[in-house]
Amino acid sequence: MEKYINTPLTEVTAKSLRAGDYVYITGLIYSARDAAHKRIYESVIDGKEIPFPIKDSIVYYLGPTPEKESQVIGSAGPTTSSRMDKYTPMLLQKGMKGMIGKGKRSSEVIEAIKKENGVYFAAVGGAGALLSKKIKSSKIIAYEDLGTEAIRELYVENFPVIVVIDTEGNNLYDTAIAEYKNKR
């Protein structure tokens, strides 16, 4: 099913999404990769604030290439999500509702997604140049010293993703494989 949603990603909206849905996101999302996740985790452990509004947020696992003249952002494809698995349950507990990346997630992350009513979206790997056209503004808001891994606030319009894991723990990677095997 095709759905259009706006951020913030509320619990009501998250619960309406199902594994396999094609979703187009409009609104603010935040980019963060490995190094930024490590710093966020350390900040929480030290009792400090997370450097963006985490409640009902969507985090895109992204380290864009530098933008060229007249571009908002360079190529903006997803990175492998499993590298953030260590930090994801804590971010979901803090209020994050959605993640955009690529690849499978650990059983701990899937359980946290179910418990906290989160959603894991996949963006198409290798389509970074096309995805960047859906990003209408980009500004670094934290950890500028990390370069491309700095946290960015991104405004996106109709950013295309697929629900891979929904709030009930349905996992498109598992169901698609089973469906394929049944057809053979």
* pLDDT value of residue 98: 98
Tell me the average confidence (pLDDT) per consecutive run of 10 residues in the chain, 184 residues long. Answer: 96 97 98 95 93 97 83 86 96 97 96 98 86 93 94 97 97 75 63
Q: Using CA atoms, how far apart are residues 165 and 104, in angstroms rounded to an integer?
A: 10
Give the C-alpha separation, 121 to 60, whole Å.
Answer: 9
* Residue 154 near residue 73 (C-beta atoms within 8 A): yes
The structural domains of the chain, ordered by start, are 2-183 (3.20.130.10)
Q: In this predicted structure, what is the pLDDT of residue 18? A: 97
pTM over 0.85, yes/no: yes
